[in-house]
Amino acid sequence: MKQIVADAAIKEVESEMILGLGSGSTAALMIKSLANQIRSGELKNIKGVPTSFQSEVLALELDIPLIDLASVSQIDLAIDGADEVDPGFQLIKGGGACHVREKLVASKADRLLIVVDETKLVQNLNKVFPLPIEVLPNSWKQVKDIISEMNGRSTLRMATKKAGPVVTDQGNLILDVLFNDGIRNPKDFEMTINNIPGVLENGLFVDLTDKVLVGKIDNNNPVVYSPTKVL
Ligand code: 5RP
């Protein structure tokens, strides 16, 4: 499912574009499909803006020309994955702890295209997937206590194959938070959480997404569809 949705996303790319390169397993497949199209000559003069160390390394390995986020005034199209997508195309991202740069790239993009499989579609955000919040290293306990007063249960994200917490590309830590009632008003929540001292950014992506491509299995066949945004 992830592969067909990644391939479908590449059909939206045109030569000469400056392209935001998302993070996560679905975005990685998209980056590989992009590299194939560049290698075959189907796409020319593409410049990629990575959203993470992961996408930067992958793009460099695949010879995709890169340009730094700070050097571009505008990005034509950003393609990225998501952890939850609600009917109004509000998102939770940050499962890979990359949401700070992902949001910077998405905010600079003319269009944000989200690639997911059907399991990511939800009616209400944060009922299942915890909201990732990037915090300065020495503030995690203080932020956790404030979130607890907002009825949020926080877990400091721990690393695998390394003792201690996950350290982000910016050198910060991640709190994963489930709120008792989920997140009913993403716009207010995004701002409220970012107002807590010590918080750098949270994984709510509000009013940024233009189109969602969803992969699903239909009669044993993988298919891609694009749901209509519910206003
Ligand atoms: C990384 C992200 C990813 O896009 C998100 O976690 C989805 O990843 P995957 O395609 O592997 O399910 O936001 O910070």
pLDDT at 53: 98
pLDDT digits (tens, 9 = 90+) for 76-122: 999 999 999 999 999 999 999 999 999 999 999 999 999 999 999 99
Q: DSSP letter at 67? A: -
Q: What is the DSSP string of 128-144?
A: SSPEEEEE-GGGHHHHH
Rounded distance between C-alpha atoms, residue 31 and residue 206, angstroms = 24
Q: Which atom of ligand 1 is nearest to the CA of 94?
A: 14
Q: For a ligand 1 pocket test, name from 21, 31, 55, 83 the mutation site with the most ligand atoms within 8 angstroms of its C-beta.
A: 83
Q: Is 94 left (phi over 0), alpha (psi -120 to 50) or beta?
A: left
Report which protein residue has its CA nearest ligand 1's atom 5.
Answer: 82
pLDDT digits (tens, 9 = 90+) for 21-31: 999 999 999 99
Residues present in the chain in total = 231
pLDDT at 136: 98
Q: DSSP letter at 229? A: P
Evaluate: CB of 95 within 6 angstroms of ligand 1. Answer: yes
Write the single-letter amino acid at 132: P
pLDDT at 120: 98
Map residue 26 onto helix, strand or coil. Answer: helix
16 is catalytic: no
- Nearest residue to 58 via CA among 13, 91, 103, 26: 26
Single out the catalytic residue among 16, 61, 84, 102. 102
Rounded distance between C-alpha atoms, residue 12 and residue 115, angstroms = 12
Q: State the distance from the centre of ligand 1 to the C-alpha of 18, rounded, in angstroms.
A: 21
Evaluate: CB of 176 within 6 angstroms of ligand 1. Answer: no
pLDDT digits (tens, 9 = 90+) for 31-40: 999 999 999 9
Map residue 167 onto helix, strand or coil. Answer: coil
Average pLDDT in the 47-61 region? 98
